[in-house]
Structure 1
Amino acid sequence: MFFLLASSLFLAPSSDSFAAPSPEQNAFQSGTEKATCSMRNFFSDVRQFFGIRYRFGGQSTDGFDCSGFVRFMYDRVFNTKLPRTSIEMAGIGQRVERSELKPGDLVFFQTRGGNRISHVGIFVGNDTFVHSSVSKGITEDKLQQKYYDTRFAGAVRVLDNIISDFPALPMQSDRNTEDKEAS
């Protein structure tokens, strides 16, 4: 079962940068079999939420903002409690390079200008992530889309033993739309 110490999760980073993993976070290791099962649950579960509208501060199926959706899915599928905001989420886990992303990693963006993280999604493989978009609600997009590519701020892995060879989620389509209103 995936879980992290609540005390290590709810510490906000002192800046907008990514924090190094704490000893408590590194101490939790989960079995490969459980990780595979949870990722399958995530992949089968996330589709039912596509199209749910964006709602500022939303944390339920009545409407989600970006971090509310990520928190909801991590709690639902992985039994993992995450902090409330995208900035706080960027301060937990282990920082990973874009070239080393695995399904389940959190991806962050600077959508409001400046150097501040303002948007988060969940990487699902094949250059794709799921998130709550202001204009589309719960949806999937490609990291290489110009809008997200130019605003990519980094990524963290908060689940141990994410399966590196687990097949990526076949998503809605390979449409090349750009979301000009990400939250």
Structure 2
Amino acid sequence: MTAIETRIAAGLERAFAEKGFAEPNVEALRDAAGVSLRTLYKYAPSRDAMIRTALEHRHRRYIAHMFDDLPEATDLALSAIVERIADWMKQKAAHGCLFHAAVAAAPHDRDLRALLQRHKSEVARRAAEATGLAERETDLMLIIEGLTQSWPLLGDAAVESARRLGLGLRSAA
């Protein structure tokens, strides 16, 4: 991505994360992106494209946050992943998953559903690879999703539960 594309994507992501998908109008999105309306439409020619641009940016940032420089020891990787999810939720997603929020705002949008599926599948696959639990990818997805979805209600209690479930999964494997 070019610097301008990154700036637009980051601004759009921030606007949707803070205000949801219904509230910000195009002018607010333009202001968040820090560009002219013409430039915004050049890189994201519709509101749907703006949402997808924001979510693609979010996906790249989340993947980097979760999986860059994980411990090589698979027994330490799962604990690190849980801690990184907790950190992400505290700092960037106190209201829950932005991908689920996007689909909730447009439940019949097949492209958004596909983006949600791709994001969640990649997270689960990478977690399974990093932890050496390839045969338990679905179990890992449930732990990760359980943590991200319950964080707004349970906070640190959700993190503790995810840690226990991770230890149980590791010992069962």
**TM superposition score normalised by structure 2:** 0.31
Structure whose residues are more often helix by fraction: 2
Structure whose residues are more often strand by fraction: 1
User: Higher Cα Rg: structure 1 or 2?
Assistant: 2
Higher relative contact order (CA 8 A, sep 6+): 1
**TM superposition score normalised by structure 1:** 0.30
